[in-house]
Amino acid sequence: MKIACYCQHVLGVGHFHRSLEVCKALAERHKTVMILGGPKLTLPDSNVRFIQLPGIKMDADFSQLLPCEPGQNIVQLKQKRQKQLFDFFLSFQPDVFLVELYPFGRKAFRFELDPILKGIDTGDLPNCTRLCSLRDILVEKKDRQKYETRVLRVLNTSFDGLLIHSDPTCIPLENTFSQASAITVPSYYTGFIAPSRPAQGEGRQLRKSLGLCPGDKLLVASIGGGSVGAELLHATAKAALLLKNIPNLQIHLFMGMYSDLGLCRELEGINDENITIHSFTSTFQNWLAAADLSISMAGYNTCMNLLSNGVAALLYPFAQNREQRLRISSLSTNSPFVLLETSDLAADTLADKIKANLHHNKQANSLNLDGASRSRKLIEDFRLWNRRET
């Protein structure tokens, strides 16, 4: 089977990494191509083939599309992307088209997605099964009724099914999409998508390499793969100055993939011998396996990493929308997660919260984290989706 997966990241890399886990599972058995269109990434070695459309991103206010490369004409760039995507479908002729988020989001990219969906309907492109790949929580909209009506119109007429990457016992779709019952295409929960845990012993090996004994404590603070959250790392570094009475405590700060270049210098200016600063790392799972406590934002992938490793966490939500705050609230009933408000970033307050949560034991949870392999099984079952032939 041939599968094409479209994923457009515009701020961080969370959407990419979640989609990549599904694609890696698919690529174990099928020819899988992942179509990317955002800022360029360091792509991992895998059986997945990658195609990069000319890069487009959103501006800081999420109000307009911009070229990733300065000086390019956005109109010409969109036309080039549209043609490249259409030509790819003509040549690759996928059996399945998996679209991340659209039509629940990425409306700004319908200029290239709608022609593909229409072309499949009209026969201008080869017939294939069209599925939407959706995360657990949708961001709020100013006019929810208008938004949901548009989503339903596109989903129910231009797609064959919906995969919801959540556990309905924890975060059902209707929590953030009030008209979920009006979805007429087949819809299935896959469970959450979590990367494979590190090999047994990786956490212990990392602690050993850091010189940590069994009673010593390791705190990791991170801001995911995006460009936001610098204030959380600043706050953690300042709080560390008030934790000198905790013997053999190591604090490791991880910047984001797109962090401002000056962030490292700023953090280095908060001088403390227990703090080590790192750039973004692809081995962060090993650090969570080794950690006694994590401080981070509450993006989908970060939370799944925390759950799969059972580590306690202080979580600071992205303030621009409700997504991360709702995720913390929903997951904290099953896991040792603590919400951090902006007022909690004061050095003395954060230091107190660190001390109060530094001694949690690793904790297993009952949530379904096997979403990638479950997605593959569902995609392989054409009987669930192929309504156009019934």
pLDDT in tens, 290-331: 999 999 999 999 999 999 999 999 999 988 789 999 999 999
What's the pLDDT tens digit per position in 46-104? 899 999 999 998 877 777 889 989 889 999 999 999 999 999 999 999 999 999 999 99
Question: How does 193-231 read in b/e, with b if 16+ C-beta sit within 10 Å?
Answer: bbbebbeeebbeebbeeeebeeeebbbbbbbbbbbbbbe
What's the pLDDT tens digit per position in 3-40? 999 999 887 788 999 999 999 999 999 999 999 999 88
Distance CA 371, CA 84 (A): 31
Both tokens assigned to 217: 């404590």
Of 7-16, 262-271, 278-287, 373-382, minimum mean pLDDT range: 262-271
pLDDT of 266 strictly over 50: yes
Phi, psi torsion values for 303, nearest 5 degrees = -65, -40
What's the pLDDT tens digit per position in 348-382? 999 999 999 998 888 777 899 999 999 999 999 97
Q: Where in the chain is the domain with CATH 3.40.50.2000?
A: 2-193+370-389, 202-357
- Cα dihedral 320→324→325→331 (10° resolution): 180
CB 267 within 8 A of CB 234: yes
Compute the C-alpha angle 76/13/201, nearest 5°.
Answer: 150
Determine the topology of domain 2-193+370-389 in CATH.
Rossmann fold (3.40.50)
CB 288 within 8 A of CB 225: no
Report how far Cα 23 is from the mean position of its chain's Cα atoms.
14
Residue 96, beta-bridge partner list:
3, 129
| Exposure of 296 in the CB half-sphere (CA atoms within 13 A) | 32
Distance CA 34, CA 12 (A): 17
CATH class of segment(s) 202-357:
alpha beta
Distance CA 374, CA 193 (A): 9
Beta strands in 56-149 (DSSP E): 56-58, 65-67, 96-100, 129-134
- Asked whether the CA dihedral 232, 237, 242, 243 is positive or negative, the reply is positive
